[in-house]
Amino acid sequence: MRALQEAPSQPGLPISLSPGSNSTLGEGASGSRFYSWLGECHGAFHNIALIVPSLLFVLYLAYQARKSFSKLSHGRSYIMIAYYGCLWLVSLLNLAWCCLQAWECTPGKELAWNFLSLFTTSGMLFLEVSLLAFLIQGNYASGLEALTRTFVVSGVLVVLDILLKAIYLFGFGIPLFVDNKDRTDRMKWDLWVVHRLVITAIYGFILFMYHSKWRERLPARPAFYKYTAVMFMLNILALFACGLTGNGAGFGFWLYGATVVCYHALYLPLLYVTFLADFFQEEDLHLENVYYSEMKDAGFFDADWE
């Protein structure tokens, strides 16, 4: 009896586990890590809404890659080649940003998350600015001079944007890309208000030109104006959300998160449909018919009938 009482206190008593129990523990740990990666920070629905569209778009680009490369090699358009390469790079960055949302809440990953967010958002801004510059110069203008001028202007603006954000991030220590902590950081939300205000003003000015006497200076592409209208509305919502959040409104924080999801999940496909999809059509005659129909719808041939 005494031996039985002393048995639990003996050191080094081996405990045997069956292989089945080890497998169950391993499966439980991997499942826990997967749920933590998918649902941490903003929740599973938020992360799925980001990851699925971004992944599908990258898969679509990969599926169309052979045909696209063939079209680019025959078309010899410097602007299209450069822009298609930039689209691939930014799409991969954006997919990584969408898949690594857990870094935002992981201790020790703050620096990596800030760098990833900084370069992803700056890459998408570069595509925005260069798209506007390309189309304002004329429909699918080609040539090394046009490419250089457009990329220099876009690059300068984006570099200035990166420098400003880097000063806020690493100089003042303001968490620009961390949205789950302090919602009332006025310097952070003031910067986002100014940022959105500038972008909204640019899109608003282009829409104003479309309805003014300077309409003919812009490209005769209704798809471009629809794109501009969509981006104008999205930036209006983001501007409103940043203003509300800076004043501590919970609805503003939710609305801001919704605009971020829409931007990262849907902007690159929208840009592709607006700017590149027609270029990659197999039949050049179909492309010419599309441009003719859009110019006719825009009223550029009305004078011929008078």
Q: What is the 3-state secondary structure (H, E, C) of 220-283?
A: CCHHHHHHHHHHHHHHHHHHHHHHHHHCCCHHHHHHHHHHHHHHHHHHHHHHHHHHHCCCCCCC
The residues spanned by each domain of the chain are 44-279
Instruction: Tell me what pLDDT residue 184 has.
Output: 62
User: 45: alpha, beta or left, given left = phi > 0 and alpha = psi -120 to 50?
Assistant: alpha
DSSP code for 180: S
Instruction: Tell me what pLDDT residue 89 has.
Output: 95
Three-state helix/strand/coil letters over 119-150: HHHHHHHHHHHHHHHHHHHCCCCCCHHHHHHH
Instruction: Tell me what pLDDT residue 2 has.
Output: 46
Instruction: Tell me what pLDDT residue 146 has.
Output: 65
Instruction: Tell me what pLDDT residue 185 has.
Output: 76
Helix or strand (DSSP H, E) at 287: helix 284-297
Name the CATH topology of 44-279: Rhopdopsin 7-helix transmembrane proteins (1.20.1070)
Contact yes or no for 245/252 (Cβ under 8 A)? yes
């940022």: which residue's tokens?
195
Instruction: Tell me what pLDDT residue 112 has.
Output: 92
Helix or strand (DSSP H, E) at 201: helix 186-210
Residue partners of 207: CB distance under 8 A and separation at least 6: 225, 228, 229, 232
Instruction: Tell me what pLDDT residue 65 has.
Output: 86
Q: Low-confidence residues of the chain, pLDDT below 50?
A: 1-17, 21, 23, 25-26, 29, 139-140, 282-285, 304-306
> pLDDT digits over 248-300, tens only?
888 888 999 999 999 999 999 999 988 887 777 644 445 555 555 665 665 55
């570099």: which residue's tokens?
159
